[in-house]
Chains A and B, each alone.
Chain A
Amino acid sequence: MTSLPVPAFSETLTVLCLVLILLVPLAGAGLSLINTGLGRSRSAAHSMMASLMVIATAAVVYFVCGFSWQGFVGRPAHFLAIGHAGWNWLAAEPFFMRGLQFDGSPASLAVLLQLFSVGLAGLIPLGAGADRWRLGASCASTALLAGWTYPLFAHWVWGGGWLAQLGTSYGLGSGFVDVGGSSTIQGVGGLTALSIAWIVGPRRGKYPANGMPAAIPAHNAVFVLFGCLLGLVGWLGLNSAGALLFAGVGVERVVLTAVNTVLAAASAGLTAAIITRLRFGKPDASLTANGWIGGLVASSAGCAFIKPAAAIIVGIVAGALVIFAIEWLEFELKVDDPGGAISVHALGGVWGIFAVGLFARLPRGSAGQLLAQIVGIATLIGFVLPTTYGLNWLLNRFFPQRVAVDGEGQGMDLHELGADAYPEFVTHTEEFIQR
């Protein structure tokens, strides 16, 4: 929102921020469980292994070069002169985080938060590529995400880049506002998930020659629902730490941020449960979980600046949007997304960003804020989607991302890891699918 350096935190604020940041890995644990539970039992160990490897790859690559592109507000950056304003488009930090003091400064706290956030963004495509995306390919794709796509967009939003400066440079409200990462984490991850789903294609048997798409049920609803509870704790940390570090709000706003996060998730989860109850006769656990996470995703953008009643509206819309988007993607666009990652993270994120323009009360006023948010959404779709698709398409040319046909039939656990997740159990008869 501003390119001015963030003032140093007091000791109390530093400790509070650090504690909040240390909650964020729970969001990653939650997403991992959700992705695993929504996939097939014969790919469960592979899914958790991929989650671990993706988080590891993201952290290392972000350390090597990601931060050098992302930077932080008030630190060195590259500018382009367009019109009367300078466009801050890329950070100019050295590789390997050289020159950064890990002293509890806001910049160092932001780096710690980013190490977790970039892993969170990397986990999102795993939901869309479940049951067919190779382990090595998912790590390579994550390296591209953590090394270029994520840091570039995060710099524009959180590093004092041109989107954050739309307010000061062009009078568009307070500039593009995204407190907790509806765009930087969820939008970027969700659009990468869409790219992966397109590139690897649907699972075998998902779209038979005649008739409806085959239903491939989630193998463990308990994982999925427990993942939602872990996700809530992680998101409380993510949104609250983001509010302190990237929105520049005082500690008094952390309470409002947490209240809004809980209310958005709760209303989204209830909405999803009610809609599925009305449509199918019983509430659907998988879709309710997706609605819950959709509410968390949508809450992130404006959680520090909207009223609790508005957070409930954000959640209700997110919960409904996610349910119908999942169905639309599966039936109309024929995108096979076992984890619902595209609907939850890309569409939920876009809704959250848009909602800031509708509901947020910002310190610099709200005139032009909706346009700033629309510019941010247009940037995500117009530049991030082609970038992430292009990088993954190129990767696929040299390093095929989809597992071999026999591997998919055998299951990712046996094929890629050599052992099943549940060796003592007899798995479902061919998982309801004719091969």
Chain B
Amino acid sequence: MKLAGFLLLLAGGGLVLAAVALLASALPRTGFVLAGVGVEALGVVLVARSHLPAQGDRG
């Protein structure tokens, strides 16, 4: 789950960069940038869930 989360983070970042570099008109560019941010948000959720400590913590 952690690896998938980080891959989503990178994919979302890549989507944002691609939108900026390849799309000229404002509306599609904004849409794809926001989509990239959404993918990153999913990645953060996965990474955060993968780091939830087990019951009773490590101590």
Residues of A within 8 A of B (CB): 82-83, 85, 87, 166, 170, 172, 198, 201-209, 333-335, 368, 371, 374-375, 377-379, 381-383, 385-386, 389-390, 405, 435
CA distance A172 to B16 in the complex (A): 14
Contact indicator B55/A378 (Cβ below 8 Å): no
22 A-B interface contacts by CB (under 8 A): A170-B21, A201-B57, A204-B57, A204-B58, A207-B53, A207-B56, A208-B56, A333-B51, A335-B51, A368-B26, A374-B33, A377-B37, A378-B13, A378-B16, A378-B33, A378-B36, A379-B16, A379-B17, A381-B12, A382-B12, A382-B14, A390-B6
Given contacts A201-B58, A374-B33, contact A379 B13 (CB under 8 A): yes
State the total of A-B contacts with C-beta under 8 angstroms: 87
**B30 partner residues in chain A, CB cutoff 8 A:** 371
Answer whether residue B46 sits at the interface, using C-beta atoms and an 8 A cutoff: no
Whether the pair B33, A382 counts as a contact (CB closer than 8 A) is no
A405 contacts across to B, CB distance below 8 A: 59
In this complex, which of A166, A198, A381, A435 has the most chain B Cβ atoms within 10 angstroms of its Cβ?
A381
Judging by beta carbons under 8 Å apart, are A170 and B16 in contact? no
Pick the 7 closest A-B CB pairs, nearest first.
A382-B13, A204-B59, A209-B56, A207-B57, A378-B16, A198-B51, A83-B21
Q: From residue A73, how far is it (CB to closest CB) to chain B in Å?
A: 20
Residues of B within 8 A of A204 (CB): 57-59
Tell me the B7-35 residues at the A interface (CB within 8 Å).
Answer: 9-10, 12-14, 16-17, 20-22, 26, 29-30, 33-34
Given A202-B53, A207-B57, answer yes or no on A383-B13 (Cβ-Cβ < 8 Å). Answer: yes
Residues of A with C-beta under 8 A to B14: 382
| Minimal Cβ-Cβ distance residue in A for B51 | A198
The residue on B at minimum CB distance from A213 is: B57
Given A204-B58, A208-B57: A382 and B9 interface contact (C-beta under 8 Å): yes
Closest-CB distance, A352 to chain B (whole angstroms): 17
List of A residues within 8 angstroms of B51 by Cβ: 198, 333, 335
Query: A377–B14 Cα gap in the complex (Å)?
Result: 13
- Give the contacting residue for B10; candidates A170, A202, A377, A382; CB below 8 A: A382
Q: For B56, what are the chain A residues with a Cβ–Cβ distance below 8 Å?
A: 207-209
Alpha-carbon gap, A371 to B30, bound state (A):
7
Contact A378 B57 (CB under 8 A): no
Determine the distance from Cα of A139 to Cα of B5 in the docked complex, in whole angstroms. 28
Whether the Cβ atoms of A383 and B57 lie closer than 8 Å is no
Residue with the greatest number of chain A CB neighbours at <10 A, chosen from B13, B29, B53, B57: B57
